[in-house]
Chains A and B, each alone.
Chain A
């Protein structure tokens, strides 16, 4: 699960970067290429951060 969390974190980070750079414009307001979709970037990076937090919790021993 920890590996999955890291993979998802990297995935969302890259997706956010691509939205920020304007390389992708899937489901954006303007729908135009090369526009900076800041809100999409922020949400993707928040998801990336949450995946890292999830990975952090995988370190803890299981509760009994």
Chain B
């Protein structure tokens, strides 16, 4: 892997992990589009590099939401010590995040490798990216219908039920499929649970933080694989680049979703997904 490739992949990871456009799908499709045949995606050096990129993204999310996380962790510890649940906002959000993380934690560990072995090539990733776009359109349409027909109104995150949080967590699990976006799936599920776009994005990013952090921490032994030290410098630069890109992305998206919806990302996923699928079927993407 060259230095330029490392920086491009780090930028791609930092941006696409938080934008609802699937980081996994893009890390399959972009190298295939650019014919980067020198990258061995299952090699120890590349895996170590990917671990560090995820660590950068997770640290960026933790930094951006540092005040909220501090309040949530304190509230969680206090409730365990007390042995009693209260209606306090941070505590409620904390337990919703814990409950919502369980499905993706279990399914991620059990299904990650078989799913990637089955679908980790350009054509399925492109197809799922297009489906990801359709899911965002469908989510927006359903939400508008719910609000128009039934007269449902938005409520804050802490009003989610635990069952709804498990549902959002299950939706997030679909991101195991390359091309399906973690933040996109959890945002659509949150919107259907009557969060507005701003809160849906915030809840999605908070829910993603422990998952991305745990996934990268669990893979840290790969950094000590015999050949992994070869990419040490690229990994350090990659961590910084992906961290900065993720921080800027989350800052942009939290502002964007104050007054906008998922449809532009839906169009992007649909157009790129269909185009890449056609290219893959023609043998252009390898």
Is A50 close to B, CB under 8 A? yes
CB–CB B83/A56 < 8 A: yes
Known contacts A38-B221, A50-B98; is A43 also within 8 Å of B83 by CB?
no
Contact partner, A40, options B82, B109, B221, Cβ 8 Å: B109
Is A32 close to B, CB under 8 A? no
Is B113 close to A, CB under 8 A? yes
Residues of B within 8 A of A40 (CB): 109-110
Residues of A within 8 A of B114 (CB): 27
CB–CB B105/A29 < 8 A: no
Residues of A within 8 A of B80 (CB): 53, 56
Is A46 close to B, CB under 8 A? yes
Q: Name which residue of chain B comes closest to A58, CB basis.
A: B83
CB–CB B113/A39 < 8 A: no
How large, as a class, is the contact surface on chain A? Answer: 10 to 19
Is B218 close to A, CB under 8 A? yes
**A8 vs B73: C-alpha distance when bound (angstroms):** 24
CB–CB B85/A39 < 8 A: no
Residues of B within 8 A of A63 (CB): 85
State how many residues of chain B have any CB contact under 8 Å with chain A.
17
CB–CB A57/B109 < 8 A: no
Contact partner, A43, options B82, B84, B109, B113, Cβ 8 Å: B109
Most buried by B among A40, A57, A59: A57
Known contacts A47-B102, A50-B102; is A39 also within 8 Å of B109 by CB?
yes
Interface residues of A in 3-61 (CB under 8 A from B): 27-29, 38-40, 42-43, 46-47, 50, 53, 56-57, 59-60
Residues of B within 8 A of A46 (CB): 105
CB–CB A42/B83 < 8 A: no
**A27 vs B106: C-alpha distance when bound (angstroms):** 11
Known contacts A28-B113, A50-B98, A50-B102; is A60 also within 8 Å of B218 by CB?
no
Is B284 close to A, CB under 8 A? no
Q: Name which residue of chain B comes closest to A55, CB basis.
A: B83
Interface residues of B in 70-86 (CB under 8 A from A): 80, 82-85
CB–CB B113/A29 < 8 A: yes
Is B111 close to A, CB under 8 A? yes
Residues of A within 8 A of B106 (CB): 43, 47
Contact partner, B218, options A28, A39, A50, A53, Cβ 8 Å: A39
Residues of A within 8 A of B83 (CB): 56-57, 59-60
Residues of A within 8 A of B110 (CB): 27, 40
A sample of 26 inter-chain contacts (CB < 8 A) reads A27-B110, A27-B111, A27-B114, A28-B113, A29-B113, A38-B218, A38-B221, A39-B218, A40-B110, A42-B214, A42-B218, A43-B105, A43-B106, A46-B105, A47-B105, A53-B80, A56-B80, A57-B83, A57-B84, A57-B85, A59-B83, A60-B82, A60-B83, A60-B84, A60-B85, A63-B85
